[in-house]
Chain A
């Protein structure tokens, strides 16, 4: 799986591509926590448009970061999950606590 992070004002934008499972979870978790530690970011936007697969391990990484930022009033948003990924997000209940947007621009405009 590939990923990159970018801090835009107070928001960490995380772009993921490929299969989000146990294979990448530990590394992404560490890098996300490092990025949150070393920036002023309060919110996180996960751009999932290029994620082709997710399971409970990938969801767990997202939920763990949600718990962390929500302690300090931060919000999390998702951008454009593919249908098979969206179905897993819905079943997990994550979509009931995290808002979904169709693109990064809209997510960035509305998250704060």
Chain B
């Protein structure tokens, strides 16, 4: 995979930054030939990852920092969302569709990330934080216009 473009961003763990990150990543993603539907899926997956970092990782402590790294390659886009929050005790359980530690939330965050992205990985350790890495393929014909 050839790296075409990349950015790294650090921002505070506040709710307003979910939309900020979503708009930023969607604008960056438009450098590749994604469909509008792909962009919508990327926006939801990214928002779920940032929301999890704020609500679960940092438990709504707004003084913490989330790091977002987005890489565009000829194959697609990789999104990495990293927090240094409380981490996840049991990743397999957290990824069950109806699992949520908060009755107001539906436990759908991981489901949307998994459904909408082609690759999805969570690394987490209690007390150390959580890193989510997701990859969305771009249509190969569109990414290689000579074909």
A: residues with CB less than 8 A from B are 19, 21-23, 25-26, 29, 53, 55-57, 59-61, 63-64, 84, 87-88, 91-92
Count A-B contacts at CB 8 Å: 61
Residues of B in contact (CB 8 Å), total 25
14 contacts between A and B (CB under 8 A): A19-B22, A21-B15, A21-B18, A22-B47, A23-B15, A23-B16, A25-B15, A56-B48, A56-B106, A56-B109, A56-B112, A64-B104, A84-B37, A91-B112
- What DSSP secondary structure best describes chain A's contact surface? helix
B19 pairs with A19, CB closer than 8 A = yes
B18 partner, pick from A23, A59, A87, A88, beta carbons under 8 A:
A23
Chain B 28-58, CB within 8 Å of chain A: the 1/0 string?
A: 0000000001001001100110010011000
- What DSSP secondary structure best describes chain B's contact surface? helix
Q: Which residues 1-18 of B have a CB within 8 angstroms of A?
A: 15-16, 18
Q: Which residues of A contact B18 (CB under 8 A)?
A: 21-23
Q: Which residues of A contact B22 (CB under 8 A)?
A: 19, 21, 53
B94 CB–A CB distance under 8 Å = no
Centre residue among A26, A29, A55 by max chain B CB count within 10 A: A55
Instruction: Please name the 9 residue pairs, one residue from A and one from B, whose CB atoms are nearest each other, closest first.
Output: A56-B108, A22-B15, A60-B105, A64-B104, A84-B40, A55-B47, A23-B15, A22-B18, A60-B104
